[in-house]
Amino acid sequence: MLNSIIVIQARMGSSRLPGKVLKLIHGKSVLAHIVERVRQTAGIDRVIVATTTEPKDDPIVEEAQKQNWFFFRGSEDDVLARYYGAALEHPAQNIFRLTADNLFYDTEALADLLTQFTGLSYDYMKTNKKLPLGSGGELFSFKNLERAYNEATKTMDRDWVTSYFYTNPDKFSIGEGRFVRNGKDYSSFRLTMDTPEDWTVYNNVFNTLYHGSPLPLNVVLAYLEEHPEVKAINAHIKQMGVADYKSDAELRKEKENAAK
C-alpha cells in the first residue's frame, strides 16, 4: 500500500468554462501544468487523474496516456464513487482531493498538511483558509473515504466528495492546516479557474511570468500585489459554498432557461 496519493478530479464539462482542463497555456494543457506542479509536493507517492467514463472525457484519457500519467475513469455524477474507485485501484493510507481548476496549488501548504495529518488524529483536514482561493487542498484517510462512500446519500455529498465530512462534525473530527504563507491573509486572492475572468487572470500571469517551469506562488502573489488591476479582474466572482450548491442538472436547466 502506498502512503499518500493525490487524486485530481477532471472532466471536460463545465457550466461556465467548458473544456477548461485541456485549454492550452504556453503549449501545455491546464491539466499538465497542474500535474507537473503537484508532483513537487513532498511526501506524495503518486498522482492520479480521475475522470469520467463519458465519451466527452476521452480527450482527458488521451492526454493522460500521452503524458504517461496514472488515471482512473468512474462516474460523472457520483464523484465520491469515482474517488473510491481510484483509491481501490491505487491503495494508499492518505488521499488528497484536488480539482483541475487550479494552476497555483501551494505545494508547501499541502506537504505541511500531510505532516500534520499523519501526526494527529483528525479524520479530515483542509489547508488554512488564509491561503489564496484555489491554492489549497483536502486530505482524508482511505478508511474515512470508504465510510463516506458507504454512508453518504445526499446528491451534494456524492458530487462534492468531502462535504459529508465537514457537514457532519459529530461523526468526523475536522482539522485545519497551520501553514499560512508569509504569515499573511491571502484569502482575497482568487487563483481558481471557473469563469472567463479567471482565465484572463491566468493568462495575464503566465504571459508575464512563465518561463517553462512551475511558477513559485510567492512570485505570483507579489505580481498580483504589484498589479491590483489584474487581481481585480475576477475579484467580484462569488465562489459557491454549501448553501449555494446546485447539481449539474439544475445548472444545465438554469442555463437553458436563461437562453430562452
| pLDDT tens for the chain, residues 1 to 260 | 999 999 999 999 877 788 999 999 999 999 999 999 999 999 999 999 999 999 999 999 999 999 999 999 999 999 999 999 999 999 999 999 999 999 999 999 999 999 999 988 899 999 999 999 999 999 999 999 999 999 999 999 999 999 999 999 999 999 999 999 999 999 999 999 999 999 999 999 999 999 999 999 999 999 999 999 999 999 999 876 655 555 555 554 444 454 45
Q: What is the structure's pLDDT at 244?
A: 52
Task: Give the pLDDT confidence score for residue 13 in this predicted structure.
Answer: 85
Contacts of 218 (CB under 8 A, 6+ apart): 181, 182
Whether the full predicted model's pTM is greater than 0.75, yes or no, is yes
The reported pLDDT for the residue numbered 255 is: 46
Query: What cell numbers appear for 92 in the block?
Result: 494508499
Question: In the CATH scheme, what is the homologous superfamily, with its name and number, of domain 2-252?
Answer: Spore Coat Polysaccharide Biosynthesis Protein SpsA; Chain A (3.90.550.10)
Cell numbers describing residue 118: 499523519
Answer for the pair 215, 107: CB distance below 8 angstroms, yes or no. no
- Kind plus residue range of the DSSP H or E element containing 47: strand 46-52
CB 146 within 8 A of CB 197: no
Q: Are 116 and 128 in contact (CB under 8 A)?
A: no
Q: Three-class SS of residue 171? A: coil
Closest CA to 15 of 195, 158, 193, 199: 195
Residue with cell 465519451: 55
